[in-house]
Structure 1
Amino acid sequence: MVKFLARLMPRRFRSTSVEIPVVRLHGAIMSGGNSLRPSLSLEGVAAELQKAFSDKQAPAVAITINSPGGSPVQSRFIYQRIRALAEEKKKKVFVFVEDVAASGGYMIALAGDEIIADPSSIVGSIGVVSSSFGFTELIKKIGVERRVYTAGQNKVSLDPFLPEKEADIERLKALQLEVHKTFIDMVLERRGTKLSDDPDLFSGLFWTGIKGKELGLVDSLGDIRSHLMKHYGSKTKLNLIQPQRGFLGKKLPSIGFSTDAMAQVAMQTGDAMLSKLEEKALWSRYGL
């Protein structure tokens, strides 16, 4: 009876227990997700972050990350939103690495005032990668003639159906170097003197949480519950912020029976399959 009445009281009148909002950022980082192709993007997590940081009674926000990376733009967007909310609401941010916080996943983790990793988790991969396929020999074998008409001499740069050009490759590498420098600058700004002088730190290599702590990429090893209880006491409670749900608990795609609607579903399904393959390739880099 006493516990029931305690739950009815406003939190400020309750006992000394502390409630910490928790936001889960899990999955490959991509823009333009939909019901058939969910992805981790600022659009998808903005509402959860806002809700978590709006808890006036909470002294901090906890974020769990399990991501192999993906879009550097969306990664930076999410990082910036977390930092902006932390400064606006004056909250401390704890980031907990689960299986992987690599590449863009680690970029988001930099938003934490403290980064805590499981000893067996994977962290790092501070680099930039671009990949595609070349189909020039395939279209020769099947007798397909490639026809491209452009206004602008560089509109077909890196076309997978045309032979590679050295100038296109050099241009791509220059872009990658700029993105890589932005990533490195973020790591240096957020981790500062905590970082070791290991020459491989920004080479794109990745490590376990144990080695990541030695390198200064993470602050400590542990799990969310025990770490927060150590900081705020044994009565600390975790409040998982759930994503917004539609009717019946989930958002369902609107599917009609018109030709246009069926074509749209078919395109979304094909796009979702390609995205799943891309996501699988990202996870597989880390043995997952």
Structure 2
Amino acid sequence: MIMGKKVGIGGEKIAIINIKGVIVDSKKAVKEIRRYADNPSVKAILLRVDSPGGGVVASQEIYEELRWIKEKKGKKIVTSMGTVAASGGYYVACASDLIVANPGTLTGSIGVIMEFANLEGLFKKIGVEGVVIKSGKHKDIGSPFRGLTKEEKELLQGIIDDVYAQFVSAVVEGRKMKPETVKGLADGRIYTGRQAKELGLVDELGTLQDAINITARLAGIKGEPVIVERESGFPFLDLLKEEFFGGIGEGLRKGNISLEYRYIL
């Protein structure tokens, strides 16, 4: 049971923002963060993360928005980790003043993945021939009609390395850790919440209620805080939308290659 008054009037407030499922788009989270930015009664943001990560840019935009409200608006930020808060889910948590994980939370997975299908062998078997007309030799890089050349693999690895370095920098800055320490932990592996605490990737072990109490204390709230949380009206429909439009739709929109901060479950 979550203690705290779930009403929107009176008292000093903690706003709970949920990051659930695959991080496909940042708009909803950014809109919520901005909603509380200039509300003086909202003293802190509690980020509830239950996500394996997702798109690189979406994760970065949420992270930067959280840093903005913390540094420019003076709001305290605490992250409460649910079942999974990995890869991009961990990235956004690094903007927090403090991270609380359950002992059995799966977190970490600091790294980047790019994946696409090479269907060249299948197409040859079934007699499908791809016709490509392009302006440059790399314009169809990642095409399912052919494999990658050595040069193309090196180009894509360079992109992975750059985006990986951005992730490491966010962890170094957010967790106040040495780059070499983070790199030693950032090989894509996952950790339990208890392991993550021992390694310095999270600060405390506890439940969502523990995180609320910690947030109230950190924000200097006296007495019982008012909890502000937007309810999701149709979670099943949201899930379908995420799975269909976020999966198939995003795949079609972005083409054959995806670049993600994501832990593959």
Give the alignment's TM-score, normalised by structure 1: 0.74
Aligned pair in 2 of structure 1 residues 269, 131: CA closer, same or farther (>3 Å)? closer
Equivalent residue number for residue 240 of structure 1: 229
1:97 and 1:85 map into 2 onto residues whose CA distance is 20
Structure 2 unmatched runs, 5+: 1-8, 252-260
C-alpha deviation, 1:275, in angstroms: 5.7
Equivalent residue number for residue 88 of structure 2: 104
Equivalent residue number for residue 118 of structure 2: 134
Letter in 1 for 2:21: G
2:87 and 2:112 map into 1 onto residues whose CA distance is 8
Listed one character per residue, the Cα deviations across residues 14-43 of structure 1 (whole Å, up to 9, x for unaligned) are xxxx4311111112112xxxxxxxxxx221
Equivalent residue number for residue 27 of structure 1: 21
Corresponding residue SS for 2:72: helix
Question: Is the 1:124–1:204 Cα contact (8 Å) retained in structure 2?
Answer: yes
Letter in 2 for 1:42: S
Equivalent residue number for residue 10 of structure 2: 11
2:213 to 229, 252, 266: 229
1:158 and 1:276 map into 2 onto residues whose CA distance is 16
Aligned pair in 2 of structure 1 residues 126, 154: CA closer, same or farther (>3 Å)? same
C-alpha deviation, 1:114, in angstroms: 0.4
C-alpha deviation, 1:223, in angstroms: 1.8
C-alpha deviation, 1:271, in angstroms: 5.0
Equivalent residue number for residue 257 of structure 2: none
Q: How does 1:1-288 map to 2 (within 5 A)?
A: 11=10, 18-30=12-24, 41-193=25-177, 197=181, 200-229=184-213, 231=217, 232=221, 235-242=224-231, 274=248, 285-286=264-265
Equivalent residue number for residue 260 of structure 1: none
Corresponding residue SS for 1:29: coil
Aligned pair in 2 of structure 1 residues 199, 179: CA closer, same or farther (>3 Å)? closer
C-alpha deviation, 1:145, in angstroms: 1.5
- Give the percent of matched residue pairs that are identical in Structure 1 and Structure 2: 29
C-alpha deviation, 1:68, in angstroms: 0.7
Aligned pair in 2 of structure 1 residues 223, 237: CA closer, same or farther (>3 Å)? farther
User: Per chain length, whose mean CA-contact separation is higher, i.e. which structure has more relative contact order (CA < 8 Å, sep 6+)?
Assistant: 2
C-alpha deviation, 1:83, in angstroms: 1.0
Letter in 1 for 2:154: E
C-alpha deviation, 1:159, in angstroms: 1.2
Letter in 1 for 2:42: A
Listed one character per residue, the Cα deviations across residues 55-108 of structure 1 (whole Å, up to 9, x for unaligned) are 312321111011111111111111001111222221110111111111111110
Letter in 1 for 2:224: K
Question: Is the 1:53–1:86 Cα contact (8 Å) retained in structure 2?
Answer: no
1:91 and 1:273 map into 2 onto residues whose CA distance is 34
Task: Identify, as 1 or 2, the structure richer in strand.
Answer: 2
Listed one character per residue, the Cα deviations across residues 233-278 of structure 1 (whole Å, up to 9, x for unaligned) are 66233221347x8xxx89x9xxxxxxxxxxxxxxx9975563699x
1:227 and 1:272 map into 2 onto residues whose CA distance is 30
C-alpha deviation, 1:195, in angstroms: 9.0
Aligned pair in 2 of structure 1 residues 120, 275: CA closer, same or farther (>3 Å)? farther
Question: Is the 2:86–2:263 Cα contact (8 Å) retained in structure 1?
Answer: no
1:238 and 1:92 map into 2 onto residues whose CA distance is 14
Structure 1 unmatched runs, 5+: 1-9, 13-17, 31-40, 253-267
Question: Is the 1:96–1:115 Cα contact (8 Å) retained in structure 2?
Answer: yes
1:229 and 1:272 map into 2 onto residues whose CA distance is 34
Letter in 1 for 2:14: I
2:160 and 2:262 map into 1 onto residues whose CA distance is 21
